[in-house]
Amino acid sequence: MAKLVLELTSVTKTFPGVVANDDISLTITEGSIHAICGENGAGKSTLMKTLYGLHQPDAGSIKVRGETVRIDGPGRAVALGIGMVHQHFMLIPRLSVMENIILGYEGARLGILDYQRAQREISELCARYGFKLDPARLVSQLSVGEQQRVEILKVLFRGADILILDEPTAVLVPQEVRDLFRNLRELKTQGKTIIFISHKLDEVMEIADRITVLRRGKTIGTVEVKDTNQRQLAEMMVGRPVFMELNRDEREPGPVMLEVRDLRVQGEAGHQALSGLSLQIRAGEVYGIAGVEGNGQTELVNAIIGQQPIQAGVIRMKDQSVVGRRTREIRQLGVAYIPEDRHAQGLVLGMSIWENSVLGYHLDRQFRNGCIQNREAARRYAEELIEHFDVRTSSAEIPALALSGGNQQKVILAREFTPDPDLIVASQPTRGLDVGAAEFVRQQILAMRDRGKAVLLVSADLEEILSLSDRIGVIYGGRIVAEVPGKEATADQLGLYMTGSKPGKEAATP
Amino acid sequence: MFMAQLLASAFRMATPILFTSLGAIYSERSGVVNIGLEGMMIVGTFWGAYGAYNYGPLWGVVFAIVAGMTLALIHALVSVTFKVDQIISGTALNILAAGLSRFFCLVIFTMATTSPTVKGFTTWNLPLLSRIPWLKPMVTNLSPLIVVALVLVPVSAFVLNRTVFGLRLRSVGENPLAADTLGVNVTAMRYAGVLISGALAGMGGVYMAMEHTGMYLEGMTGGRGFIALAAMIFGNWTPTGALVASLLFGLAGAITIRVQIPGIPYQFIQMLPYALTIAVLAGVVRKATPPAAAGQPYERGEK
Amino acid sequence: MKLLRNRERLIQLFTPLGAVLAAFLVGALIILILGKNPLTVYARMLSYSFGRVDSIAIIMYRATPLIFTGLAVALSFKIGLFNIGVEGQYRMGVLTAAVAGFAIRGIPAFIHIPLAILAGALGGLLWGLLPILLKLKRGVHEVITTIMTNYIGLNLIHYLLTGPLLDRNQVTGFGGKIMRTPFIAESAQMPKLHGLFSLFSIKLPGYIYLNWFFVIAIILCILVYYLIERTTFGYEVRAVAGNPTAAQTAGINVRSIYLKVFLMSAGIAGLAGLSELMGYYRHMEVSFPSGYGFLGIAVALLGKNSPFGVIIAALLFGFLARGAEGIQILADVPSEVITILQGVIILSIVVAYELVNRYIRIQRKKEAA
């Protein structure tokens, strides 16, 4: 029987307003890959930060190799042999791989760096664990997968034998995921313990030995991979049988409202973000885009709303081309937009609610007299929106930052839906919202569909896509690789397309 | 012979710029933009002259370094500890330095704008080289500070690229969050970068007062702190680059004094460093790559 | 909750006062070092500044350029840009206005004065054009470019004043020619405010140079306030200032807002030296007063980027300048103490704001918990 390398007993951590970790207990065996699963906000990250010394637990105890310890900082964690690979890489692009690895742990004599020794040690590490990496290259020249390897090497270089990987596959393409898994298995055979945080069940099933599921800060249970299946895990994660039916009338879709054909867009990093994407959305239907993040969703949305120059292709709205048009003109054609990040893109947090509720519509005749703003009209309008969408606030004068996340999203929905748009582009509309607010947002989207609007829904939440969409397009590598009617789609089937492991036939011949 | 004299003059004019731009590199590489270099040079000129006047040239240098570092300490305190906008802090320091120098000049020397003349270091003649006639202006009557400035170039390159200190300094200027998670003390590194820049700007100042003019004159830096920033940018934030840029700018200065170019007013030659810097930044000459986190205060994230 | 908000507002209101107070404490320390009693020195300063009406008029005259530069800096701060080039822009404005003043002759004052003002604004605007274009087209940080254009302008003006624009017909005294432009025409001189004051039966002596530019500065502040707070353009400016990404997403042309506001800032900066040009010097010269651009940064910070705050802060700085003369004459304290105070005010004000913001953040967190 392998010995326990990590034991958590009744670990609790509260933040103002939330219990992030509530009485969590779990044990991790040496030399195993242990996955921690849960939805966004389940408390996975908090727990790992506690392990890495970035938070102090309010209650509970942690034992490392049988000894009770207090991990009061990352330095302590490193000394205990715990290493963390952050989801967002902590790398310095302008430095070399080697410099990134040794930084803070240079082991130099007289303050002078010994590059040769460092290079030798890193090469040895690479050889031992089967990592392919040239220590002399600049990190800025590496692919995402290679950068992740640098992160792992950083941890190994510091002598860690417990590695925490926070959502390590979120940023990887499937090929890179396979490489990562190969590396992880190699690490495991050499005796390292790996804690693998993820909400992607297929990956967890593939790589982990044992899985602990968290939900709303609590441990739901720990299961052996060989004794479980994806459906059971999903139910543990969500807390109810998944894929429950949302009340939805079947409708005959109307005319095509949005047509995208052979769209090619270059991404920020210079890669081909969209490589010939085509889709059509009709009035009265929700078209869901399913896909692993980073496969071109952001670029697609930005191209439609005029925030992204395109290389080639057609975007037509109600038979009018919108390519090359300004965002303002496109919005005037009747496009509503629920942005992915409401703080960054949706609201001016320092402005009042009424000012936010006319943002983008502030040049409408009703809100101005010539070039003077009609503040009274805007205020009255905002009060109507507050009433209709049940925004919880004492007045329209208070700044948007004083609202809760759900109420902020309601302000955006109210602003975007009230002018009676024809096309709604909704990007991650329920991200970070609590259950009640998310349900409200979903209902509003369906209500718009029932009123004959076309809806483009982009979401990382497969369940959301499945329950809202009339048709689902799977995006992979900047193309729609499969299109499935919403009724017939299953998570398993979509998952296969999303990871590119099953080439879509449906979309191959349009 | 004339060329050698011109070059010698260029070296002399480049030295204060070189000192200060080396300082600027330390500060910016640690992620702190230092607009206050002009002010740090100013206090360097005054206190350098004061120290040299009362205690001799070596003390002149010491006083200038301490004065520059004192101002730098304020900059670090305001912009690193209090995380106030670095540009604002630097601008305030420039105003402060001008006022302080005038004030102390009046109080100490009873004149607002000049100090009495001060004696600089005994000049050096480089052995061997000074026998070559055409090289003579370059290698005789050399201020030791010029030699120090030139030596500081490879020293700085070594410190930045080959030492633990340099690696950590660069890392906090590029990605303080990453450096912090790896146990690098961001605040300490930034203080170090800013303080070194103050010391070097002070040396640039004392060179001007003690070695170049032989006295403190109000406004004698004449924007060289800003030219030093320009030299740093032009030299792409590297010591060797700063040397080349400083020499180029020094040459422009020397030409305006020594050469009459028909048809080109000297003011236009004086504009050259500034115009070139804009051209570099605009990518007309080549790509400028400032440290990624320069100008951004670092706040450790909560939660 | 409401009580807390009110307390926050009160604290925020008193922050600038606290910072000024801190600066005066530093000043007191320096005066102590000189072996003088700070209280009597400050008392002298106050009585000298506010003892007579003409002294108050001098304060207003001193404040006039600072209202313009303060407003110019505040406008650029508003959208998150840092116009360090105000210094160069106002000098360029003085030059172009001077040219319009002396080169054109024989037109009535009611045309000539506006023309000269327009020329000043254009000069400033022109000098702000390159930095903002480089910022928008190539992402070059405006701080560095404006520093560089300041020095380019300095050299260009020096060249023009010693060459093409030099007044060659000037009657030379002992020191030889002054490097200056010809005098501006009488029709381009700004009338003094003596007439306005006499309406209130206040008689200002002839050595007071307070002129209508003070009134123009005040009106401009009101206009800018109205523009930012009441118009659709101002709404877009505030949206861009608050969150450029959200503004862009909402279809606002963010780059155009940046361009317009920065050029407005530069244009206003171009007016800063005109009170002295058209009301006192009547020519541009190499030693024309400098530093208003940098002090404008202090004024904008102290005035919290609000047009009315800028007026108050500029008047405070005018008072400091006037008081500096007072303590030099009456108390034998070098007037440079005041320059030091100006520097200290900037530092203490920004640190004070930061501390207050931190305090409020902590309070809010406590409240949320």
Question: DSSP string covering C14-43, please?
Answer: HHHHHHHHHHHHHHHHHHHHTT--HHHHHH
Q: Do B182 and A104 touch (CB under 8 A)?
A: yes
Segment among A160-164, C17-21, C155-159 with least mean pLDDT: C17-21
Element (H, E) at A497: helix A491-498
Query: Which pLDDT score, from 0 to 100, does residue C368 have?
Result: 56
Residue type, B264: I
Instruction: Count other C-beta atoms under 10 Å from residue A437's C-beta.
Output: 18
Q: Do A92 and B174 touch (CB under 8 A)?
A: yes
Tell me whether strands A67-69 and A256-266 are parallel, antiparallel or unpaired. unpaired
| C23 compared with C216, residue with greater pLDDT | C216
Interatomic CA distance for residues A64 and A67, integer angstroms: 5
Q: Which residues are within 8 A (CB) of C69 and not within 5 positions of it... i.e. 6 or more apart?
A: C86, C90, C269, C272, C292, C293, C295, C296, C299
Residue A87 scores a pLDDT above 90? no
Segment among A380-384, B188-192, C44-48, C360-364 with least mean pLDDT: C360-364
Tell me the pLDDT band of B4, cut-offs 50, 70 and 90: confident
Q: Do A16 and C233 touch (CB under 8 A)?
A: no
Give the residue on B whose Cα is nearest the Cα of C352.
B82
DSSP string computed for B35-97? TTHHHHHHHHHHHHHHHHHHH-HHHHHHHHHHHHHHHHHHHHIIIIIS---HHHHHHHHHHHH
Q: Compute the average pLDDT of residues A100-122.
A: 88
A90 CB within 8 Å of a chain B CB:
yes
Strand partners, A1: none
Q: Is A146 helix (H, G, I), strand (E, B) or coil?
A: helix
ipTM of the prediction: 0.86
- Contact between residue A24 and residue A214 where contact means Cβ atoms under 8 Å apart: yes
% of chain A beyond a pLDDT of 70: 93
Give the residue on B whose Cα is nearest the Cα of A14.
B303
Cα-based angle C174, C179, C185 (whole degrees, multiple of 5): 105
Residue B109 scores a pLDDT above 50? yes
Query: Which pLDDT score, from 0 to 100, does residue A353 have?
Result: 94
Provide, as residue numbers in chain A, all residues whose Cβ is less than 8 Å from the Cβ of B175: 90-92
Residue C197 scores a pLDDT above 90? no
Residue A486 scores a pLDDT above 50? yes
Tell me the pLDDT band of A40, cut-offs 50, 70 and 90: low
Query: Which pLDDT score, from 0 to 100, does residue A244 have?
Result: 44
Provide, as residue numbers in chain C, all residues whose Cβ is less than 8 Å from the Cβ of A346: 246, 249
To probe the interface with B, which of C26, C87, C147, C357 has the most B CB atoms within 10 Å? C147
Query: Which pLDDT score, from 0 to 100, does residue C65 have?
Result: 97
Alpha helix locations (H) across A287-434?
297-304, 327-332, 353-356, 375-388, 405-417
Provide, as residue numbers in chain A, all residues whose Cβ is less than 8 Å from the Cβ of C234: 373
Interatomic CA distance for residues C210 and C57, integer angstroms: 6
Cα-based angle B112, B114, B120 (whole degrees, multiple of 5): 145
DSSP string computed for C277-303? IIIII-S-BTTS---HHHHHHHHHHHT
Instruction: Count other C-beta atoms under 10 Å from residue C180's C-beta.
Output: 21
B179 CB within 8 Å of a chain A CB:
yes
Q: Do A349 and C243 touch (CB under 8 A)?
A: yes
Chain B contacts to C (CB-CB under 8 A) = 33, 35, 74, 78, 82-85, 87-89, 91-100, 102-103, 106-107, 112, 223, 226-227, 229-230, 233, 265, 267-268, 270-271, 274-275, 277-278, 281-283, 295
Query: Which pLDDT score, from 0 to 100, does residue B303 have?
Result: 33
Tell me the pLDDT band of C208, cut-offs 50, 70 and 90: confident
Assigned token pair, C189? 């001189």
pLDDT tens profile C224-246:
999 999 999 999 999 999 999 99
Q: Is B10 helix (H, G, I), strand (E, B) or coil?
A: helix
Residue A1 scores a pLDDT above 60? no
Give the chains touching C; criterion: ≥3 Cβ pairs < 8 Å.
A, B
Q: Compute the average pLDDT of residues B126-140.
A: 75
Interatomic CA distance for residues A471 and A489, integer angstroms: 9
Q: Is A69 helix (H, G, I), strand (E, B) or coil?
A: strand
A259: phi > 0 → left, psi -120 to 50 → alpha, else beta; which? Answer: beta
Segment among A101-105, A262-266, A402-406, B43-47 with least mean pLDDT: A402-406
Query: Which pLDDT score, from 0 to 100, does residue C245 have?
Result: 92
Q: Provide the greatest CA pair distance for chain A.
A: 80
- Cα B259 from chain centroid (whole Å): 26
Distance from CA of C334 to the nearest CA of B (A): 7
- Contact between residue A286 and residue A464 where contact means Cβ atoms under 8 Å apart: no
Segment among A14-18, A340-344, B230-234 with least mean pLDDT: A14-18
Q: Which residues are within 8 A (CB) of B248 and not within 5 positions of it... i.e. 6 or more apart?
A: B234, B273, B276
| A138 compared with B123, residue with greater pLDDT | A138
Report for A108-117, A418-427, B281-290: range of highest mean pLDDT: A418-427
Residue C154 scores a pLDDT above 50? yes
Report for A420-434, A463-477, B162-176: range of highest mean pLDDT: B162-176
Assigned token pair, B221? 């830096």
Alpha-carbon distances, residue C249 vs A337, A343, C243 (angstroms): 9, 12, 10
Closest CB to B278: pick one of C145, C294, C347. Answer: C145
Exposed / middle / buried, residue A164 (Cβ in 10 Å: 0-12, 13-18, 19+): buried
Q: Do A103 and B181 touch (CB under 8 A)?
A: no
Tell me the pLDDT band of B199, cut-offs 50, 70 and 90: very high
Provide, as residue numbers in chain C, all residues whose Cβ is less than 8 Å from the Cβ of A360: 249-252
Provide, as residue numbers in chain C, all residues whose Cβ is less than 8 Å from the Cβ of B270: 155
Query: Which pLDDT score, from 0 to 100, does residue A466 have?
Result: 87
| DSSP 8-state secondary structure symbol assigned to residue A424 | E
Segment among B48-62, C266-280, C283-297 with least mean pLDDT: C283-297
Query: Which pLDDT score, from 0 to 100, does residue A246 have?
Result: 55
Exposed / middle / buried, residue A495 (Cβ in 10 Å: 0-12, 13-18, 19+): buried
Q: Compute the average pLDDT of residues C314-339.
A: 84
pLDDT tens profile A362-389:
999 999 998 999 999 999 999 999 999 9
Interatomic CA distance for residues A312 and A296, integer angstroms: 15
Interatomic CA distance for residues C336 and B103, integer angstroms: 5
Segment among A90-104, B49-63, B286-300, C45-59 with least mean pLDDT: B286-300
Q: Phi and psi at residue A346, in whole multiples of 5°? A: -95, -30
- Contact between residue A79 and residue A69 where contact means Cβ atoms under 8 Å apart: no
pLDDT tens profile B149-165:
999 999 999 999 999 99
- Contact between residue C356 and residue C12 where contact means Cβ atoms under 8 Å apart: yes
| B235 compared with B264, residue with greater pLDDT | B235
pLDDT tens profile C264-288:
999 999 999 999 999 999 999 988 9
Tell me whether strands A67-69 and A18-29 are parallel, antiparallel or unpaired. unpaired
Strand partners, A24: A11
Tell me the pLDDT band of C367, cut-offs 50, 70 and 90: low
Closest CB to C246: pick one of A345, A371, A373. Answer: A345
Exposed / middle / buried, residue C68 (Cβ in 10 Å: 0-12, 13-18, 19+): buried
Q: Compute the average pLDDT of residues B28-44.
A: 95
pLDDT tens profile B200-227:
999 999 999 998 888 999 889 988 999 9
Tell me the pLDDT band of A122, cut-offs 50, 70 and 90: very high
Q: Do B84 and C350 touch (CB under 8 A)?
A: yes
Provide, as residue numbers in chain A, all residues whose Cβ is less than 8 Å from the Cβ of C236: 362
Segment among A61-65, A407-411, B45-49, B297-301 with least mean pLDDT: B297-301
Residue A206 scores a pLDDT above 60? yes
Residue C175 scores a pLDDT above 70? no
Tell me the pLDDT band of A184, cut-offs 50, 70 and 90: very high
Distance from CA of B178 to the nearest CA of A (A): 5
Alpha-carbon distances, residue C295 vs B91, B94, B226, C264, C298 (angstroms): 9, 11, 18, 19, 5
Interatomic CA distance for residues A451 and B104, integer angstroms: 78
Assigned token pair, B187? 């605040």
Residue A199 scores a pLDDT above 70? yes
Q: Compute the average pLDDT of residues C339-357.
A: 81
- Closest by CA to A172, choosing from A188, A152, A155, A192, is A152
- Closest by CA to B57, choosing from B66, B48, B65, is B48
Tell me the pLDDT band of B107, cut-offs 50, 70 and 90: confident
Give the residue on B whose Cα is nearest the Cα of C356.
B82
Residue A498 scores a pLDDT above 90? no
Tell me the pLDDT band of B47, cut-offs 50, 70 and 90: very high
Query: Which pLDDT score, from 0 to 100, does residue A247 have?
Result: 58
Query: Which pLDDT score, from 0 to 100, does residue A507 have?
Result: 43
C6: phi > 0 → left, psi -120 to 50 → alpha, else beta; which? Answer: alpha
Residue A271 scores a pLDDT above 50? yes
Strand partners, A483: A473
Cα-based angle A148, A153, A158 (whole degrees, multiple of 5): 135
Residue A425 scores a pLDDT above 90? yes
| DSSP 8-state secondary structure symbol assigned to residue B300 | P
C129: phi > 0 → left, psi -120 to 50 → alpha, else beta; which? Answer: alpha
Q: Compute the average pLDDT of residues A64-72.
A: 91
% of chain B beyond a pLDDT of 70: 97
Scanning the structure block, which residue is given the tokens 């170049």? B212
The tally of CA atoms less than 13 A away on the side-chain side of residue A439 is 5
Interatomic CA distance for residues A429 and A405, integer angstroms: 12
Alpha helix locations (H) across A21-173?
44-51, 74-79, 97-102, 115-129, 144-157
Give the chains touching A; criterion: ≥3 Cβ pairs < 8 Å.
B, C
The tally of CA atoms less than 13 A away on the side-chain side of residue C28 is 12
Report for A245-254, A400-409, B131-140: range of highest mean pLDDT: A400-409
